Amino acid sequence: MKLEQIFSVSLIYASIRSATPIIYAALCAAITQQADILNIGTEGIMLTGAFAAVAVSYFSGSWLMGILAAMMAGFVISGIMAVGHIKYKADICAIGMGINLFALAITKFMLNVIFDTSGTFTDPDVKAIPRVDIPFIKNIPILKDIFNDWAVTEWFMIVLILILTFLLYRTRWGLRLRAVGQFPMAAQTAGINVISMKYQAILISGLVGGLAGAHLSLGYSTMFTENMTSNRGFMGVAAMYFGHANPALTAVGCLVFGVADSVGARLQAYGLPSQFVLLMPYVVTIVVLSISMISKKVATDRKKSSLNVVKQEAV
């Protein structure tokens, strides 16, 4: 086994490709987290979107219609979660897990009803999201290996990170959303409609989660498989914690998962038992969450220490 065969330029491309569905899922969770809502249902939203994308792409012959259908499916599922949590005061973790189980069951049922099959559905009529080649880097060895043959949704991922960063930190809407998440009573006193902002956060996250599913089933692959999200939604939530719900930092956390997945796949080719390869993403999830929690505790302790110093000086 040679390290240069594992850690090559193609590893960067493979890592970005593996990380993209997780980045979309993490952005879905980051939007609601800004309103102090833990979106455990990201996995279910993503899975529903993946099925809707394949089904509509198959019947319409359009990958774009598939993406729109996936986003609408995510919007509907997140709407159910929003009503349950905000209007009927259901625990967000409980309703999120309920959404995940519902998505797993309904997609399996619809796969059997619509396509008369189980397990996996693939067909030439399912239109994949097109891939883009950049002409002027075709003769540049390293760049062409990294940036060519990206799906449209992989390029849009970068655009979405920039858009969300701008919206959350440079607009009045983002300021209000973060105020609702951090100081809900103060936000309400200031005249901000807290309930409306929470609904907006959950519904927008549903659109992004549906897009995550569409990319997984039409961009990352061209099929639907039962439970094909394979806990990517939960990995996205872990990465969101790592990045403190900041879109750019969250994306960096997702790249860690992408690298782990790609390295694991290459190690398997060199005889590493498949069980270890399957275990790697979950080990990385635990490590990422541990680092996030430790850093959060250190920051909290530092803030408390600073407040104590101020109090002592005041006395």
Whether residue 313 lies inside any domain: the answer is no
Whether residue 178 lies inside any domain: the answer is yes
For the cut 50, the answer to whether the pLDDT of residue 310 exceeds it is no
**Residue ranges of E strands in the chain:** 120-121, 131-132, 150-151, 224-225
CA-to-CA dists, residue 138 to 40, 141, 235, 296, angstroms: 42, 7, 34, 44
C-alpha–C-alpha distance, residues 299 and 230, integer Å: 33
Whether residue 281 lies inside any domain: the answer is no
- Tell which phi-psi region holds residue 221, choosing left (phi > 0), alpha (psi between -120 and 50) or beta: beta
Tell me which amino acid residue 224 is. F
- CA-only gyration radius of the chain, Å: 21
Whether residue 100 lies inside any domain: the answer is yes
Average pLDDT of span 231-237 = 92
For the cut 50, the answer to whether the pLDDT of residue 78 exceeds it is yes
C-alpha–C-alpha distance, residues 114 and 55, integer Å: 8
pLDDT tens-digit profile of 162-172?
Answer: 999 999 999 99
Cβ contact 57:65 at 8 Å: yes
Average pLDDT of span 263-292 = 74
Assigned token pair, 253: 């956390």
- Tell which phi-psi region holds residue 37, choosing left (phi > 0), alpha (psi between -120 and 50) or beta: beta
- Domain total for the chain? 1
Average pLDDT of span 41-69 = 97
- Listing DSSP states for 46-90 in one string gives HHHHHHHHHHHHHHHS-HHHHHHHHHHHHHHHHHHHHIIIIIS--
Question: Helices (H), strands (E): how many in the chain?
Answer: 13, 4
- Separation of first and last alpha carbons in the chain: 66
Assigned token pair, 152: 């449209």
Average pLDDT of span 221-246 = 92
Pairing of strands 150-151, 131-132: antiparallel
Round the average pLDDT of the chain to a whole number and report it: 89
C-alpha–C-alpha distance, residues 232 and 22, integer Å: 6
Band of the pLDDT at 146, cuts 50, 70, 90? confident
Cβ contact 69:55 at 8 Å: yes
For the cut 60, the answer to whether the pLDDT of residue 142 exceeds it is yes
Whether residue 230 lies inside any domain: the answer is yes
C-alpha–C-alpha distance, residues 290 and 279, integer Å: 17
For the cut 60, the answer to whether the pLDDT of residue 315 exceeds it is no
Whether residue 282 lies inside any domain: the answer is no
pTM: 0.90
pLDDT tens-digit profile of 34-51?
Answer: 999 999 999 999 999 999
Average pLDDT of span 90-107 = 95
Give percent of the chain above pLDDT 90: 68
- Which domain does 111 fall in, by range? 19-132+149-241
Q: Which residues pair with 225 in a beta bridge?
A: 120
Band of the pLDDT at 144, cuts 50, 70, 90? confident
Whether residue 315 lies inside any domain: the answer is no
DSSP state of 218: I
Short-list 24, 32, 14, CA closest to 49 = 24
Q: What are phi and psi of 39, to 5 degrees?
A: -90, 80
Whether residue 75 lies inside any domain: the answer is yes
